[in-house]
Structures are given as structure tokens and as C-alpha cells.
Amino acid sequence: MTGKQLLDTNIVVALLNNVPEVTERIRDSEAFVSNTILGELYFGAENSRRAPENVDKIRAFARGITVLPIDDMTAHEYGKIKAQLRRLGKPIPENDIWIAASAIRNDITLSTHDDHFTSVERLKLDLWPARRFADRPSQ
């Protein structure tokens, strides 16, 4: 896919692990992550057997990509999404609501493996195959 993409945590992990399919697929894209995604990455790194190495890997990655901040407009989108999901009776993980809010607020397509994002109205989604490339940074 080309264009602007917000890379979900599972996509970034595969990218950090040099999965060729992932690098190829985002090669011609303008890629972004959100603060929430970085937080999830750091959490995974801190829980790994090679925490210092994985933290360094994430820091290097973050220096080379645009990180979208959470601002008032993102928070408002979060509120809209959470209310919409509650009305539908389709909750998704809290962090994923923030990730979806960042994508909507910045008018960026979210690239992910997680199909629960299909419940979020107004979200542009690039749903990758169900096969997960990796669950967390290298252990």
C-alpha cells in the first residue's frame, strides 16, 4: 500500500524483526506511529529477555519515524469512538481506541492485523492477513 499509514504495534514489531513481507509492503508509504503504539512497544521490550537491546531498537526506530502526539482533537475522537463502540456492544482494547482515534484525527489509514478495528466507524483500515508476523520484539 502507498500513501500515509499509521502502523499498528503488530506491524512495527514485524518491521523491527526485519520481516521482508512487511518492509516490502510499506516501502512506498509515508509511515507514522502514535505515542500509544510506542508505549506498547516499550512495554513489550521491557518484558523481554533482552530488554536493553530491544529498548534501543525501539528508540532508534522512533527517531526515524513521525510520532503522532495525542492532542485535544485526538482525545475527542477517542470519546466518539468509545461511545460508538459502547452503543454497538463491541468493545475493543482501550489502547486500540486511542490508536484508531489517532488515525481518524490525522486522516491516515491504519495498517494492522487486528480485525476488531473493523467495528470503528470512519476508520480507514488496511487489514493485513490474519497470519501474525510476530507478537512482540525479539525475546
List of residues 6+ apart from 36 with CB closer than 8 A: 70, 95, 98, 99, 102
CATH label of the domain that carries residue 37: 3.40.50.1010
pTM of the full structure:
0.89
In the predicted structure, residue 56 carries a pLDDT above the cut 60: yes
In the predicted structure, residue 137 carries a pLDDT above the cut 60: no
| Structural domain harbouring 123 | 3-127
- What does the DSSP 8-state code read for residue 37? H
Q: Quote the cell numbers at residue 2.
A: 502507498
Residue 136 belongs to a domain: no
Residue 74 belongs to a domain: yes
In the predicted structure, residue 47 carries a pLDDT above the cut 80: yes
Residue 133 belongs to a domain: no
Give tens-digit pLDDT for 65-87. 999 999 999 999 999 999 999 99
Evaluated on CA atoms 7, 11, 13, 18, the torsion sign reads negative
**Structural domains counted in the chain:** 1
Cα distances from 21 to residues 9, 41, 70, 102, 112, in angstroms, run 16, 20, 30, 25, 14
Residue 60 belongs to a domain: yes
Residue 89 belongs to a domain: yes
Residue 55 belongs to a domain: yes
Band the pLDDT of 2: cuts 50, 70, 90.
Answer: low
